[in-house]
Amino acid sequence: MEYKLLTPGPLTTSKSVKQAMMVDHCTWDQEYKGITQEIRQKLLDLAGVTSEEYTTILMQGSGSFGVESVMGSMIGPKDHVLVCVNGAYGRRIVGMCERYNLMYSVYEVAEDEIPKASDIEKILTGDRTISAIAMVHSETTSGILNELEEIAALTKDHSVLFIVDAMSSFGGIPMDVSALSIDFLISSSNKCIQGVPGFSFVLDKREQLEQRKDFARTVSLDLYDQYETMEKDGKWRFTSPTHTVLAFYQALKELDKEGGIYQRYMRYLTNNRLLRQKMGELGYQPFITQYQGPFITSFLYPTQRAFDFQHFYQHLKQNGFVIYPGKISSVDCFRIGNIGEIYPEDIDRLVKVIENYSEVAHVS
């Protein structure tokens, strides 16, 4: 049975993206290396940045591999990183800092709040050793969308590095990367570009990349070494996920065909608003009341009746939908994503399945 994945990645892909993977490619082949170079340039175009100021580096592995490649090979021994946390993925960056024995501080707020520029400014003013800020843009733990503009302005004022995990946002919401002066932006092949899992990518300011080329603590995740090899002709250092690359190449074409990032954002936003409206009518309340992102929503377990998530999950799966369990640390909830090859008619059908759930539920 085919399912609609209502998750923040992996997500539901188009038939043509799946079909693109039905070809075997050699990693040394010039055509394949040319595709890699086209992808690198296209990602710069989507970010609205020039190849003189930025470059794109593709890295084998999931999005977390990409984040770790930045934290493990671009942070120097004298750097002090301020990690902004309001969910599991911010905490994952903290875990990377701990594992690499980096100098770091944590600014953490509740999972339904966003990091505030005013608080960060006080921290930066009080500790002049801080040289970098790392944060998540779309925190899929809850579905909250953190604001970047005011924090970006602080990074300029205080001349600190700006690292943004834009895993679940890049390609799905307009973002002026150059104006935000982001030094390292990380995303993944299986998110808003609507490809399949297999590699992450980093948009890097060339100036910072060159200055930090000797800081790598691992071989496989050495971002600069990957850049040097890829810059020559598009060759990846080690075996690349060829089928994933071909799927991503097709997905980029389909993003263009849809009308680009803004049109995709409008589709996601429409899906999300419709989902929250219809779920509200059924009595399901969202965890996030402010700063809700357009990608995924956390819904609280209903309190007016007994609720068994596994039973609920299986009912949805039997009717063609797969969702995520909750990830909020303090309350019981589940998550429904609305990105990927998902349209308003899919949301309408999902809500009918959920509406029918009470008729088939036999929760002890």
The letter for the amino acid at 279 is M
Distance CA 30, CA 273 (A): 45
Phi, psi (5° rounding) for residue 161? -65, 145
Helix, coil or strand: residue 107: strand
pLDDT of residue 363: 43
Query: 73: Cβ–Cβ under 8 A, 6 or more apart, which residues?
Result: 212, 215, 216, 217, 218, 221, 222, 223, 224
Write out pLDDT tens, residues 31-42: 999 999 999 999
Q: Is 73 exposed, middle or buried (0-12, 13-18, 19+ CB in 10 A)?
A: buried
Q: Is 24 exposed, middle or buried (0-12, 13-18, 19+ CB in 10 A)?
A: exposed
SS3 helix, strand, coil % of the chain, rounded to 5? 40, 15, 40
pLDDT of residue 323: 96
Q: Which helix (H) or strand (E) covers residue 212, if one does?
A: none
pLDDT of residue 360: 62
Place of tokens 């005011």: 150
pLDDT of residue 364: 43
pLDDT of residue 2: 86
pLDDT along the chain (364 residues), means of 10: 90 97 93 97 97 98 97 98 97 98 98 98 97 98 97 97 98 96 97 98 98 97 98 94 98 98 98 98 95 97 87 95 91 96 98 85 49
pTM of the model: 0.96
Q: Within the chain, where are the H helices? A: 15-20, 30-47, 63-73, 88-99, 117-126, 149-157, 206-211, 223-233, 242-258, 261-281, 309-318, 344-360
Distance CA 3, CA 16 (A): 16
